[in-house]
Amino acid sequence: MNITLAFGDKIKKIKQEGCVHVFGVNLDAKALAEASQEALVHLQSVVSLPGFRVGKVPLAMIRDQFPSMVKDEVLDIAAKSSLPEIFKGSQLNPVVAPLLKNVSYEPAKSLYFEIQFECSPSIEPKGYEKIAATRKVHKISDAEVDKYISQVREYNAYLKPGAEGEAATKNHFVIVDYDTFENGAPVADGSVKGEIVDLSSPQTIAGLAEAVIGAKKGESREFDAPFGDKKMHFKVTVTELKQKVVPELDENFLKEAGVKTVEELKANVRKLLEQGAAEKTEKDMLGQIEEALLKNNPLALPPTLVKEETQELLELFKKRAPQEQHLPDDSLLERLKPVAERNLSLTYILHHIAKKEKIEATDAELDAELEKVMARLNTEEEKKKGRELFEKRKEYIRASMVENKTMTLVKDKAVIKEEQA
């Protein structure tokens, strides 16, 4: 059976910090006796002792032999019974399960505990109309187009063997073997074979490039150079000489690029660069609008949701970032927390704007979104799985659509000034 405890004025709100509300609950001897009786009856249906069937163990024996179980059951009953009383007198919207804390229990005498609620922030959204923003328009120059094409040519460069008897210059790549000596003795692990050296760039070993310039294939050079805090002697032999070849902007290059003329190539590159610049401009402008929304609508966030969002960002980062870039989790969590807070704040602000402006995502719009997803899938098996996943995430997708529509409304209402970047 379920009981309704007469709390009266035994429930009091004792603290509120941002989205965190804490209530203190007192049970006197009479209320505690009711809760204890309910707890014993419930435990009787599940516990067993030698000589007694389940459901037949005397309540007094349960009370004496299972005190911790009785306490937990009493606390659970009292907490659940207090929730309707708390919600009746307070406008709470919890986002995570309530937390019991600071429990003080004296069997047959009294019970005190606190219930902590983390609730959604409630705000009256403001400052989202006529947000001032700047769209920095970037006009792509001919020089940028030429630079991009040059970079593509450099990326597709290759090495070819140097001419017979040719001497190394700064424009060459050489493949070398070298040995390292200290005070005339070979250094352990100081013998290196087949290292590629770009003679136009600084080297790990100071003086290596300068030493081999002028050398031909098969020739050796010796030089001294600092290595760490020591001075070493190196003997290096040029085993191969390579010439870097950058593809010409010729018929073959144009064919690989899928165009017929240089003018067509430049037009395609300009279009590509303009698209990238437009995306960057739009992202920058949206960032300005988001900053204005955050500044105009400060709010406190539920700590547990911030923690969960930060953890999700951490898992995403660890999947995408190379292993060598990983920092300790605690350090990453600290760095990602502001990002999580920003994401959650914007979600809540846009949610309240959508509510105020009565913005919704209809079932018809959801169906249209599903059709877009289906159009990108090929096999019936893929489409079946796509529908199942879409159905599972339907409300999340609906919320995302509402968020996007709301941001579009805010952007359409913004006062946007254009200027040349």
Question: In a 10 Å sphere around its CB, with 0-12 CB exposed, 13-18 middle and 19+ buried, how is residue 68 labelled?
Answer: exposed
Amino acid making up residue 36: S
Phi (first) and psi of residue 259, to 5 degrees? -130, 170
Cα 28 from Cα 18, distance rounded (Å): 31
CATH for 158-245? Answer: 3.10.50.40
Fold of 11-118: Alpha-Beta Plaits (3.30.70)
Radius of gyration of the chain (CA): 36
Note the pLDDT of residue 85. 86
Give the torsion sign (CA, 175, 176, 177, 182): negative
pLDDT of residue 3: 57
Q: How many CB atoms lie within 10 A of CB 24?
A: 15
Token pair belonging to 8: 């009266």
- Sites in the chain below the pLDDT cut of 50: 1
Looking at residue 325, what is its pLDDT? Answer: 59
Hey, how many other C-beta atoms are within 10 angstroms of the C-beta on 309? 21
What are 146-169's pLDDT values in tens digits? 999 999 999 999 999 988 899 999
**CA distance linking residue 268 with residue 256, whole number of Å:** 14
Residue 6 is predicted with a pLDDT of 61
The whole-model pTM stands at: 0.75
Phi-psi region of 91 (alpha: psi -120 to 50; beta: other; left: phi over 0): beta
Q: 22 pairs with which residues across the strands?
A: 15, 116
Of 66, 65, 49, 69, nearest in space to 57 by CA: 49
- Give the residue range(s) of CATH 1.10.3120.10 domains in the chain: 262-420
Q: Positive or negative, the Cα torsion across 276, 280, 285, 287? A: positive
In the structure encoding, which two tokens stand for residue 368, read together?
């249209």
Is the distance from CB of 290 to CB of 346 less than 8 angstroms? yes
- Residue (of 271, 266, 339) closest to 306 by Cα position: 339
The average confidence (pLDDT) of the chain is 91
The dihedral formed by the CA atoms of 341, 347, 348 and 352, expressed in degrees to the nearest 10 = 160
Nearest to 39 by CA among 11, 10, 79, 8: 79
Composition of the chain by helix, strand, coil, percent to 5: 50, 25, 30
DSSP state of 28: -
pLDDT of residue 1: 43
Architecture of domain 262-420: Orthogonal Bundle (1.10)
Which residues of the chain are in CATH 3.10.50.40 domains?
A: 158-245
Measured distance CA(331)–CA(269) in Å, rounded = 41
